[in-house]
Chain A
Amino acid sequence: MSTITRDGVSSPAPAKASPAGPRRGLRGSPTLNFWIFTGPFLAGLLIFVYVPILWSLWLSFFEARFTVTPSTFVGFDNYVNMLTDEDFMGSLVTFTVFAAIIVPTTWAASLGLALMVNRLRFMKAFFRSVFFLPTAVSYVAASLIWKMSIFNGVRFGMANTFLGLFGIDNTAWLASPDPPWYWLVIVSVRLWLQAGFYMILFIAALQNIPQELYEAASIDGAKPGWQTFWHITLPQLRATSTAVILLLLVAAYQAFDEFFNLLSKTTWGRPPLMELYYKALGESQDYGSGSAGALILTVLICLVTLLQGKFLGFGRGEESK
């Protein structure tokens, strides 16, 4: 590091003169180079992430319908509106139910697939590809298959045809919130789309577990199977599991695509993002309330993330055991 600084000091001037020259590239000080490297990204981050958030904060204190330069200051009214808005609060409940189902099921499914694939002796790459392939499919396309072919609620739908074999009547999967069959559709589509991706993370982690641990356990008399899984594999996967759960939660918060495409014409089962979409960009174009809702959501996400970190120890690094 010290040599770099000396070089920088000794020849700062020709740096800009001949940037193409192989011997004298941009050799200015580390500080200058640091900003050349990170500057464009930081500028973009400030303009397209920080400025909108601050603007949103400002808008959230104003009456702002159909305009982004409002003049009527309303204090915390928008926040009160959103927190007493049944639809918005209902969307938080929808999210909670959604996360409570999708996070554990994806965790279990991706871990299960990883354990299976990892134990295969041949055709490993083939099966891994099959489970991973849905990652390439968009939520829109997958929703389309689910809504129009598998769970379309009429006789020719695949699920109903299959259930018909057992004499079960047609089920209108998406047409009514009672009984809430739409959850099955929503959850299964996301499970199909994302399980393979997290499976890869688990496979990588499984292969990082030192083989000696299993050997030592088997010398100590542990039976392969449930015992070694419970006492060795699972504890060794702790860091990965924590990361996966965190990623799943964040992804669940952002759920929009499949809800929008599967339930677009219904009034139930709207996650927060969809509710905000209708609030801010729908008929009323209420940017003030939309902004307040976005900020409430942001605070919630930060809280959940921090709490999760506290309980599960995300970011504490690998535990040596």
Chain B
Amino acid sequence: MTTTTTPPADRADRVAVSAKPRRVRTGSVIGSTGLYLATGFAALLFLIPFYLIVRNALMTDPEITGEEWKWFPTDIQWGNISEPFDDPSVDFARSLWNSAVVGVLHTVGTLLVCSLAGYGLARIPYKHANKVFYVVLGTLMVPTAVTFVPSFVLVSSLGWIDTYRGLIIPGLFSGFTCFLFRQYFLGFPKELEEAARVDGLGYMGAYWRVVVPNSLNFFAAMATITFISGWNSFLWPLVIGQDPSAWTVQVALSNYMTGQTITYHLIFMATAISILPLVFVFLFLQRWLVQGIAQTGIKG
């Protein structure tokens, strides 16, 4: 029992990987079984919605809407997979492509712009840096969604409605992301950059050659979070994408839901397809993601 004491160093880094048991409960088999039962039950509740998507996506409509609830399709309808792409009412493939383009460019752009600014604010000695930081902090007080009316007004007067520019550019300047990068860079070991500068690199050189390569974990975590929020965002694409050719996948899904005719298996197949890439990204990058969230400095 005494051996379970974790050394306090590098705690945050290990959150994701393997934390040793906090408290080894002495021999309480009943307590431990109860804990696993409760956790297992909660896990089941959390997984049911995922199961429902798959179930509905692979059933026929009469089976979904039948009088009797069925947990499993009697006959799995693999043919349903192509249906969203064949449906003439919504260009689903186009909406997926739009989401991919927007998601990737949104992520690359946000990381570039916000990480540079975060580094500048954290590390470059400039006497008014604090004032500039307040300008950034000020935007944190105003949730971005509240500014959507004025932003829409601006973007529409720029003529950016129904364009990738309109979908992507206004979202790149996230005060929150910049703030997280600043917090991260404040904790980055100074010695590495100083060594690089002694060797003759400027700020930019040291940043690209030393700081970024040594921060790939954090960048990966931020990239994942940014991509997920980009792929999942709805209000802004709804406002900007007025023509169906500019719809993202979320807008397309929403449109299925409020449409005139409802084809259940088609809608759920489309939903499954829209979630699948993210679930993969998520499971694959989860370790970084958890570390990143734990490192963001909101852990207290």
Contact = CB atoms under 8 A, between A and B. Distances in A.
Interface residues of A, number: 124
A118 B22 contact: yes
A40 B11 contact: no
Interface of A: 1, 4-5, 7, 15, 19, 22-28, 30-31, 33-34, 36-38, 40-42, 44-45, 47-53, 55-56, 59, 68, 113, 116-121, 124-125, 127-150, 154-156, 158, 161, 192, 196-197, 200-201, 203-208, 210-212, 214-215, 224, 237-243, 247, 250, 253-254, 256-257, 260-261, 264-265, 273, 276-277, 280-281, 287, 290-291, 293-294, 297-298, 301-302, 305, 318
Nearest to B63: A156
Contacts of A135: 228, 282
Contacts, number: 341
A243 B240 CA distance: 32
Given A132-B286, A156-B64, A141 B275 contact: yes
A265 B259 CA distance: 11
B142 A42 contact: no
B165 to A, nearest CB: 12
A51 B267 CA distance: 40
A150 B197 CA distance: 60
B51 to A, nearest CB: 10
Given A156-B64, A208-B11, A38 B235 contact: no
B149 A56 contact: yes
B154 A48 contact: yes
B117 A33 contact: no
Interface of B: 4-6, 8, 11-12, 14-15, 18-19, 21-23, 25, 32, 35-36, 38-39, 42-43, 46-47, 49-50, 52-53, 56, 64-69, 113-114, 116-117, 119-121, 124-126, 129, 132, 135-136, 139, 141-154, 156-157, 169-170, 172-173, 175, 178, 197, 200-207, 228, 231-232, 234-235, 238-239, 250, 253-254, 256-258, 262, 264, 267-268, 271, 274-275, 278-279, 281-283, 286, 290, 293-294, 298-300
Contacts of B150: 52-53, 55-56, 59, 291, 294
A260 B262 CA distance: 18
Contacts of B239: 277, 281
Given A147-B257, A197-B293, A137 B278 contact: yes
A257 B142 contact: no
